Amino acid sequence: MKDFMTGNHAVANAVKLCRTPFIAAYPITPQTAIYEKLSEWEASGLLKGIMMRTESEHSAMAACIAASLTGVRTFTATSSQGLALMHEMLHFAAGCRAPVVMANVNRLLAAPWGFWADQLDSLSQRDTGWIQFYCENGQEALDTVIQAYRIAEQVYLPVMISLEAFFVSHFMEVVDLPEQEQVDRFLPPIDLPHKFDIDKPGFLVPVVSSELYRKYKHIAQGSMDSVKKVAVTMDQEFEKEFGRGYGIVEVVMLEDAEIVLVTAGSITSTTRMVVKDLRKQGHKIGLLKIRLFRPFPVEAARDALRGKTRVAIIDRNISLGSGGIFCQELRAALIHSPDHPLTYSYIAGVGGTDVTPEVIQKIAFDALSRKEPMDAPIWIME
């Protein structure tokens, strides 16, 4: 059923379709609409379950972890400052192997204050052990939430779905809402393992020895690695049921490309247009979209860029002292690639500045004009 709604409402609808009975969240611009919609539905009974309106995001994540371990499906949503506030509990969730699903609306981190789109908030949590997806538009965000529950409940790792502030969260688009029966078929309501057994009581999250901690992390790494395959399988199953598939990376017009633009998030939509236009003008240009960020799709990215000579990565974030984070990760993925493409890091859109087709064109031509490799990121300040 097609409807016209913002990215935030698309996410809220996905949570309702997944019949998530437990939500614990705290409002923060630009996520508030998700919180408000879910709150309204829970209060009216349209969303069956309990919504805890906690006093902070830190508490929200703790409540989600606890409820998840008790055995119910959970959800929370936040952004920048809230995500940073719950940082400790993000590690805790991944360590507990709790299959919590969270929507993060990418917003810049203070100081100074602002509400605009910037991917640094979720990227700076990349070491916490959460699976991370970056969504291009509201439809993808909705679909990814549904897929996320299947993935999380299979590998027992928490999943974070990121959508950019205002560009995706508040932008109204036509969204295809799946029918409840379709979602029930793909994602049946599930009783997660009850970790609290009154009759045979155990101690959750004890102090462990160094060797045992290492063993847990080793096992978790194995699960995280398996997500590269699991995510692809779930996406294919999703496509069969709903008619839409995304993959963990997406390639556009890559066959004979002399320059590949690598993007994630809403910048991808703009870049698709630019690639089409430049191709019409005769330029050999292609696009690689990164959708799954953790675990980083090393093999898929390497395969996609095989034989390519020039790659320009556009980052809507900056890790001060190092560079764009997608670029860092991609460079690490390509290090064993026999082709050694020239990779250029472009910083565009930090702080929510607009990345227009002109900016992307400028990036493409700038990368094409360079002969020498360049470590430092190139800032596009339009």
Partner 1 sequence: MAFPEQEPNLLRTGHAACAGCGLAIGMKLVLQAMGPRTIAVIVPSCEGAIGGVYPNTSYGVATIHSAFEIAAPTAAGIANALKIQGRDDN
**What is the rounded CA–CA span in Å between residue 132 and residue 100?**
12
**Residue ranges in contact with partner 1 by CB under 8 A:** 21-22, 24, 49-50, 52, 54-55, 58-60, 62-72, 88-89, 92, 191, 194, 196-198, 201-209, 212
Between 111 and 207, CB nearer to partner 1: 207
- Least distance to partner 1, CB of residue 211, Å: 11
* Closer residue to partner 1, CB minimum distance, 197 or 255: 197
**Strands of 249-252's sheet, edge to edge?**
249-252, 285-290, 259-263, 310-315, 342-347, 378-379
- Using the minimum distance from each CB to partner 1, give the nearer residue, 44 or 210: 210
In the complex, minimum distance from the CB of residue 47 to partner 1, in angstroms, rounded to a whole number: 12
The least CB distance from residue 195 to partner 1, in Å, is 8
In angstroms, give the least distance from the CB of 103 to partner 1: 18
Place of tokens 């990779």: 343
Query: Is 104 strand, coil or helix?
Result: strand
Smaller CB distance to partner 1: residue 198 or 381?
198
Q: In the complex, what is the shortest distance from the CB of residue 54 to partner 1, in angstroms, rounded to a whole number?
A: 6
DSSP per-residue codes, 315-380: ES--BTTTB-HHHHHHHHHHTT-TT--EEEEEE--GGG----HHHHHHHHHHHHH--S---S-EE-
What is the end-to-end Cα distance of the chain in Å, rounded? 40
**Choice between 112 and 202, CB closer to partner 1:** 202
CB closer to partner 1, 187 vs 257: 187
- Nearest one of 96, 22, 163 to 88, comparing CA atoms: 96
CA distances from 90 to 85, 198, 252 (A): 10, 27, 34
Smallest distance, partner 1 to C-beta of residue 347, A: 35
